Structure 1
C-alpha cells in the first residue's frame, strides 16, 4: 500500500512533519492487510518508516521525492540511500514520482539521478510514472531495474466494470513492449467518493468491487502491485474532489470494506432516520391548519419530508466527507444562504397546495352591486397629491363625485407643490364640484404624504366614521362605498382593502406585463393572507375606521410605506381587516421601467423599515394582540419576499465570483447537495407562478409570461433595497450618480447592472458547459444553476431593451399579425373590431369598469 502516515488533521503540504508515534500507529493499522508499504518521500519524518515497518515484518519501498527544490532533493536522496543501507526490509527505491509527467525533470536529468542512486545501493532502483510515460520513453526503461507503472483508470474516465480488464491489458502492453523487464503496477486504486470523470463514478461499493476484483486477478497472474493508498488523506483537497478518498482505510484508520466475504452496501439507516425525524418535525405544524383537505395535506407533508431528506443528506455529507479549509467555508456559507430559500420553497408549496387542492376562501368580501344599506355612516375620502397633472386629478375627482353613497366628503390635499399651475385648477374645480369637496394646500409640510394625511385628519368632518384613501391617479367605481362600507357594521373591523388595478395596461407590452404582475399579488397573495387576517395595507382603495386609526397613532412618517405601517399597527391592536379582490379603482402604471424599479425599491426599502420597527411585535410575547397565524403570515411574508429576492441575488453574485475559480482551476465545484436545491427551488417557483396564475388570475399564457419577466426583473432592485435597509436608517431620496460614463450609460439603459451580472452568469454557464471535457455531473449542475440565476437579471435587461424598441408597441405586433395572415394561402387579414386592441387590461374582467 502507498503509505502516508499523517494524522487526520495534519497537512504535509504545509511542511508539517510526521512523528514516530504516528508512523508506529499507522504501521499497526495496515499490518494485518498488507505485506509491504511504499513511501513517496524520505524527509519530514518519513525517513523512519522503513525502520518502524521492519518491526512488523513489512517490506518497504522507499521513495525519494524530486521537485524544483534541489537542496531538498539532495536530502531526499541521501535519506533514501541511508534507509536502504541500514534496513534489510527495504526492497527498492523509487526516485521521483511522476517527475516527467509534471515536467519537473527531463528524462535525461531523471536517468542521471537514478544511475547515481544505483551506484550507492544494492537494492533495485526505479522511478514512478504513469504507464504511457513508460511507453513513450524506452530510454528510461533501460535505466531502471524494474518498471513502476501507475495505472489509474479513474483518471481515464473508464467505467468501473471495465477497470480491471483495462489495467490488465495495459500491463500486457508493457510486457509486450519490454519483454524480460520486471513490471510492477506501482499505483492502482479507485476513490470511494468524489465527482465522476466521464463514465468513471466513485463510490464505496464500487471501490470495494474494483479493488477486490483486481487483487484476485493480479494474484492469479502473479502481478506485483501496490494499492493507492493506505489511508484517506483529508489534506489532498487540491487533487480534485477525489483526492481525499483513495484510501483502503478512512482517515480514522477504519477499514472501508471487508477484503473477503460478502460486501454489504452501506445502509444509510442513520441518514434515513434523520430524514424521517426532520420530515415528521416539519409536518407537525400541519395539525394547526384548519380545513385541510387530504390532498393539500399530502402535498405539504411531502414537501416537508423532502426538506427533511435534504437536511439528512447534508448532515450525512458533513459527517462522512472531509470538509476542511476553504471547502468548509464554502459549504457553511452555502448552507446558511440556502436555508431561507428552502423556507420560502416550503411556503410556496403550502400556498400552491392550499389554492390548488384546499378549500375555497371564506373571508373574501363578495358584495358586488349590493343594495344600499339601511345605515350609511359618513366617509371622508382623502386624496393626497404632489405635483400631479391637474387633468388627471380632475378625472379622479369626477369619479368620486359619481359615488353611489349619500354621506361622504372628499378632501384634496396638495402638499409641497409651490407651482400654482398644479394646484390652482384643482382648487377651482373643487369649488365647482360643490361643498362635499374640500381643497387643502400645504406649501410646506413635513413628512410628505404622511404629513399631508395627518393634516387632513385634523380637518376631517367630526362625524366621519370611516376614512377612505385613494391616490391622485385613481378612478373609482360608483359602487365602491356602497359595496364595502357595510363591512364596518361589525364593530371589530378596522380596515377594508380593495385591490389596485390600472386603466393604461393597453399602452405597451411593458405596461401590460406590469399590470399582470401586480394582479398576481392582489389575486393570489392578498387573498390567501386575508384568510388569516394578515393582509398588507396599501395606501389606495383603502377604507379605515377612524377610531382604529386614532388608536394606532395616525399616519407615521418614520417609514416611507406609511400605509402598510399604519395597517399593521391597527391589526396589532386587535382590529380585524378584510379584503376583496373585486376591482373598484383603476390608476395609472409607472411611466417606464425605471419608475417601476423605483417604486419596487421604495416598497422593499419601506418593508425593511417596517421590519425594524415591528419585528419584536412578531414575537409571542411582543405585547400585541396578533395571533399565531397572523405573526406567521407577516413574518414568512417578509422572508418570502425580501429574503428570497435578496438571498437569491446574493447567491447569484457569489456564484458569479466563484465561476472563474472553477473555470480557471477546475476545483472547488459546488457539491450537488448545494446546487440541486437552487434548481429545485426554481422549479417550484415556476410551478407556483404558472399554476396559481392559471387558477386565480384572469389572464392569458402570454400575459402570464410577461408578468413572470416583470416579477423576475425587479429581483436585483429588491435585493438592493434590502441592502439599503441595512445600510441607511432613513433613505428619504434616491441619489442620482453624476460625472461618470457609467452613470450616463445607466440613465440611457435602466438595467445596466442587471445586464452585466446576468450576462456574466450566462457566459459562465456556457463556458463551464463547453469546457466540461470529462462530463462531470457537478459541473453541469453548477452551470445549470448559474443559468437559472441569470434569468432574473436577463429579464431586467430584456425589459430594458424592449422598452426602447418598436416591439414594445402593440401596433408593431398588429402589423406583423396582418402581414403573417396575408402570407397564408386563402387567408385575408380581418380588421379588428372598433375599440379592440391586442392588449387588454386585467381590469376588463370587472363588469363595472372604470367610468370616465
Structure 2
C-alpha cells in the first residue's frame, strides 16, 4: 500500500505542477481601447438562422454592444427590419445590408423591404451595403450588381432631396410664424446659422467584397461612395503572428489602386475555436491577440473598420463547418471572451481540469494497483500512465463546454466518450502488465520444477475425440503410454462418431496398449462437455485427479510426475500447463498462429497466476476430483466448459496453479477459417460466462477476491476492446462524408486520441513483452501481432453473438488435415472494412486542402483502424502462398 500511496501522490503532484507551470493559461497582448468603430450583428437564436431573437433580446444585445460601439453592420433587409427599431430607440447607427442572391424573386422582395426601411430609418443609417460577397459567390455578374447599386443610389438621392426640401420648407414655415419683418429676419438668420453648423446627414452607397474582387473589377469602384473590403487573414491561411504585415500589404494595394475613394474594412476578425486553416490556427489566444493588435493598429493608421463579429453564431456550423460559429468577441451566451486591457485568461476551466485530472488519475492508480505485488518503480510508472490517461479524459470531457454542439457532434462525442471508458481501462491494464513484466517484481507462484511427494494419487486422463484423424490420436495415445507416472488410466472418449474409419484403428490401439487404456464409444448431447460427463461413469473408483488433454497432444513423460505433487495442498483444485504446438514450423501461417498463442501463455497466464486467477483450458488441465464433484462437474450450458469450470472452482474458494513449462505439444488449426472459428468459440464462451457469473463480480460478492475479479473482468474487457474496435471503425467511416461534404470536424480527442493511444500501447506491449517473456525475436513478434490483430472482426461477431444469441453449437477446430476445402473467402468482410477505411483515409487526406490538424489526426486514426483488417488480408495471402507451395 505504501508504494500505491507514494505513486498516487507523486504522480498527482506532477500533474498539478505541470498545470500550474503551464504558460498557456494566460496571455498578455497589447492593450486596446474599449471603443470599437462598428460590429457585425446577426439577430438569430443560437441554433437556427431562420429563428429571430425577440424584440427584448435584440434590445438587450444592442445595449450590451453600445458599451463598445455606436454602430452595427446588418446583412439583410429582413435582419434590418428586426434590428432597426432598437437601433433607433438607442440612438445608434447601422450599415444596412441587402442580401442579393441568384433568385430574382427573392431579390425583388429584399429590395422592396430595404427601400421601405431606408425611408423609415434614414437618419439612423450610415450606409446601405448592396450585396455581400455577391461576386465572390458568383451569384450575380458585375453588371447585374451595378444595376442594383445604381437603383439604390437613385433611391437614396431622392430621399436625400426630399429630406432637404422638407427641411427647407420647415425653416420657411417657422420663419413665417413671426409677426413682424424684423423678427422674421432674426429668425431666418438664427435658423441658417444652425443649419450651417449641422452637417447634412447623407446615407452612402457601397457593396462589400473580399479585397481581391475589387482589383478584379475596378470599375465597380466608380459606382460606390466608398469601397468596402473584407480582409480575413484566417481564410487567407495567414499565421496569427503574420497578420499585421499581411493586412498592411493588402490595405496598401487597395489604397494605391483607388487613391480617391474612402475605404472601409467591412470585415476583419479571427475565430476563437475550430479547425486550423493550414498555418492559421483558430484559438482563444490568437483571437484575443489579433483583435487587440488590430484595434491598436486602426488607431495608429486611422482607417475605418467593422469587426466580424459581435456574438458567436452556433447556427453557422451547418454552412461554415466547425469554425464559422466562433468569430464573436462575445460567446453565444453574451459573455465577453476577453477584456481589451490586461492579461487574458484563455483556459477558463484550467483549475477544474487540473483538479479533476489529478483526482481521476489518483483513482485509476489506486484501483489499478491495489491487491497486486508491486515495487516502487512499477507503481510510479503506472501512476504516471494513469495521470496521462486522466489528462486525456478531462480534455475530452471539457469539449462540450468550449464548443457549440449540434446533434451530430453530440452523437459522435457521446459515442467517443462511452467508448473511451473501456479503451481507457484496457489501455491501463495493458500498461500495467507491461510495467509489471519489465520493471516489476518477478513472478513468485510458478510451479517449482523440483517438487517431490510421497503420495502417488490415481489420475484418470480423459481424451475426448470427435471424428479425429486416427494418425493424430494415435500419436497422442502412444505418448501417454510412455508416462513416467505409474498410477493412472486413459479414457479414450470417442463421441458421436459413427464412422469406423475414425474408431476401428483407435480401438485396436487401445487393446494393444494395455489395461490402462479404456476405449469408450458413446453417443451424447452437450458436445464435448456432455461427452466428458458421460465418461465419468467409467472412471476408476480410486481416482483422485482428473486430467484432460486434447486428442492432438503429444505429452512429455514427466507431465504427471512433476505436476501431481502440487495436489498435496488440499486447497489446490486446479493445475494448468500451457498449450503449445509441434507444427509451428510447418508453414508461415502456422508460425504466425503459434507466435500469437505463445503470448497469452507466457505473459497473461503468468501474471494471472500471481493472483490465483488463471484461466482453465481444456487441455493440459488437471482437476481434483472431489472439488470437481463439489462444484457440479462439467456444465453443458456453455461452449467453454473448461474455463467455466475453473471459475466455479475459484468461486468455491479453491486454489489454482500454473506452470509455463511445456509438457505437451498439439496441432495448430489447419486454416484461417479454423483459427477464426476457434477464437469465435472462446470469445463467445467468455460472454456466456460473463452473463452467467456476473453476480460474483459485484462489489458486494465475497466468492472471489478483488484481484481475481480484476483479472477476469480485465480479460473480458480485452474481448470487448476488439469488438469496440470494429464499432468505432464503422462509426468513423460513417462520419467521413460529413467531414468532406459538410466541412464539420469531429470531437478529436474523444474519437481519435484513445484509439491512437490504445494502438501505441498495444504495439509497445506486444513487442516488448514478446521480447522479454516469450523470448521471441522481432520477426516472430511481428507475425504474432499480425495473427492477433487479424481476429478483431471475428471477436466482434463473437461478442455480438454472445449478447444476442443463446446456446450456439460447439464448432470444433479443424486440425491435423481434418479441414474440408472451402470456396468462401474467410476474410471477405475484412477486405470490405479495410477498403472503406483506407479509402476514407485517402479521401480525407486528399481533400484536406486547409491542412486541418484534426482532419489529419482523424485520417491517421482511420488508417490505424484498418490495420487489423489488413492483417487478416495479409494472413490470408500467407495462407494462399503456403497452399501453392504445398
- The corresponding residue for 2:640 is 561
C-alpha distance in 2, partners of 1:307/1:440?
56
Which has the larger displacement, 82-91 or 525-534?
Answer: 82-91
Structure 1 position 500 matched with structure 2 position 537: no
Note the C-alpha offset of 1:760.
2.3
Compared CA separation, residues 329 and 4, structure 1 to 2 (3 A): farther
Note the C-alpha offset of 1:219.
2.2
2:699 aligned counterpart, secondary structure: coil
C-alpha distance in 1, partners of 2:628/2:219?
95
Note the C-alpha offset of 1:378.
0.3
Structure 1 position 329 matched with structure 2 position 411: yes
Tell me, yes or no, if the aligned pair for 1:8 and 1:252 is still in contact at 8 Å. no
Structure 1 position 388 matched with structure 2 position 423: no
- The corresponding residue for 2:171 is none
Note the C-alpha offset of 1:38.
0.4
Note the C-alpha offset of 1:70.
4.0
- The corresponding residue for 1:587 is 666
Structure 1 position 679 matched with structure 2 position 756: yes
C-alpha distance in 2, partners of 1:418/1:594?
25
Note the C-alpha offset of 1:673.
4.9
- The corresponding residue for 2:16 is none
- The residue correspondences of 1:19-168 to structure 2 (distance < 5 A) are 19-43=54-78, 46-87=80-121, 88-121=123-156, 122=160, 123-168=203-248
2:134 aligned counterpart, secondary structure: coil
C-alpha distance in 2, partners of 1:434/1:804?
44
1:440 aligned counterpart, secondary structure: strand
Structure 1 position 18 matched with structure 2 position 94: no
- The corresponding residue for 2:547 is 468
Larger RCO of the pair (alpha carbons < 8 Å, separation 6+)? 2
- The residue correspondences of 1:220-259 to structure 2 (distance < 5 A) are 220-238=300-318, 239-259=320-340
Compared CA separation, residues 263 and 115, structure 1 to 2 (3 A): same
C-alpha distance in 1, partners of 2:673/2:585?
19
Match of 2:341 among 231, 236, 260: 260
C-alpha distance in 1, partners of 2:113/2:822?
66
2:729 aligned counterpart, secondary structure: helix
1:478 aligned counterpart, secondary structure: coil
Give RMSD over aligned pairs.
2.1
- The corresponding residue for 2:831 is 755
Tell me, yes or no, if the aligned pair for 1:416 and 1:445 is still in contact at 8 Å. yes
C-alpha distance in 2, partners of 1:790/1:634?
28
Match of 1:398 among 478, 482, 497: 478
Tell me, yes or no, if the aligned pair for 2:574 and 2:623 is still in contact at 8 Å. yes
- The residue correspondences of 1:544-559 to structure 2 (distance < 5 A) are 544-559=623-638
- The residue correspondences of 1:297-696 to structure 2 (distance < 5 A) are 297-367=379-449, 370-371=451-452, 373-442=453-522, 444-622=523-701, 625-640=703-718, 642-696=719-773
C-alpha distance in 2, partners of 1:336/1:797?
30
Compared CA separation, residues 562 and 231, structure 1 to 2 (3 A): same
Note the C-alpha offset of 1:263.
4.0
TM-score (norm 1): 0.90
Tell me, yes or no, if the aligned pair for 1:609 and 1:725 is still in contact at 8 Å. yes
Tell me, yes or no, if the aligned pair for 1:149 and 1:185 is still in contact at 8 Å. yes
Match of 1:706 among 766, 776, 783: 783
Note the C-alpha offset of 1:670.
4.5
Tell me, yes or no, if the aligned pair for 1:672 and 1:781 is still in contact at 8 Å. no
- The corresponding residue for 2:23 is none
Tell me, yes or no, if the aligned pair for 2:574 and 2:622 is still in contact at 8 Å. yes
1:244 aligned counterpart, secondary structure: helix
Equivalent pairs, count:
794
2:444 aligned counterpart, secondary structure: coil
Note the C-alpha offset of 1:707.
0.4
Which has the larger displacement, 264-273 or 585-594?
Answer: 264-273
C-alpha distance in 1, partners of 2:375/2:607?
16
Note the C-alpha offset of 1:171.
1.6
Tell me, yes or no, if the aligned pair for 1:494 and 1:576 is still in contact at 8 Å. yes
Compared CA separation, residues 392 and 687, structure 1 to 2 (3 A): same
- The residue correspondences of 1:761-772 to structure 2 (distance < 5 A) are 761-772=837-848
Which has the larger displacement, 486-495 or 326-335?
Answer: 326-335
1:805 aligned counterpart, secondary structure: helix
C-alpha distance in 2, partners of 1:81/1:165?
40
2:462 aligned counterpart, secondary structure: strand
- The corresponding residue for 2:816 is none
Note the C-alpha offset of 1:550.
1.0
1:232 aligned counterpart, secondary structure: coil
Tell me, yes or no, if the aligned pair for 2:43 and 2:83 is still in contact at 8 Å. no
2:235 aligned counterpart, secondary structure: helix
Tell me, yes or no, if the aligned pair for 1:5 and 1:22 is still in contact at 8 Å. no
Compared CA separation, residues 668 and 775, structure 1 to 2 (3 A): closer
Tell me, yes or no, if the aligned pair for 2:547 and 2:623 is still in contact at 8 Å. yes
Tell me, yes or no, if the aligned pair for 2:395 and 2:749 is still in contact at 8 Å. no
Structure 1 position 4 matched with structure 2 position 80: no
Give per-residue Cα distances to partners, 1:387-435, cap 9 Å, x unaligned.
Answer: 0111211111111111111111110110110001111111111111111
Note the C-alpha offset of 1:287.
6.3
Tell me, yes or no, if the aligned pair for 1:670 and 1:782 is still in contact at 8 Å. no
Give per-residue Cα distances to partners, 1:46-99, cap 9 Å, x unaligned.
Answer: 413123123333211111222345444333323322222222121111122212
Compared CA separation, residues 734 and 96, structure 1 to 2 (3 A): farther
Give per-residue Cα distances to partners, 1:810-845, cap 9 Å, x unaligned.
Answer: x9xxxxxxxxxxxxxxxxxxxxxxxxxxxxxxxxxx
- The corresponding residue for 1:823 is none
C-alpha distance in 2, partners of 1:759/1:433?
56
C-alpha distance in 2, partners of 1:21/1:604?
61
Structure 1 regions of 5+ residues with no counterpart? 736-743, 812-852
1:364 aligned counterpart, secondary structure: coil
C-alpha distance in 1, partners of 2:85/2:699?
68
Give per-residue Cα distances to partners, 1:695-749, cap 9 Å, x unaligned.
Answer: 10022211111101101111111111111222311221679xxxxxxxx999353
TM-score (norm 2): 0.87
Compared CA separation, residues 440 and 729, structure 1 to 2 (3 A): same
Note the C-alpha offset of 1:119.
2.0
Tell me, yes or no, if the aligned pair for 2:392 and 2:749 is still in contact at 8 Å. no
C-alpha distance in 1, partners of 2:67/2:884?
77
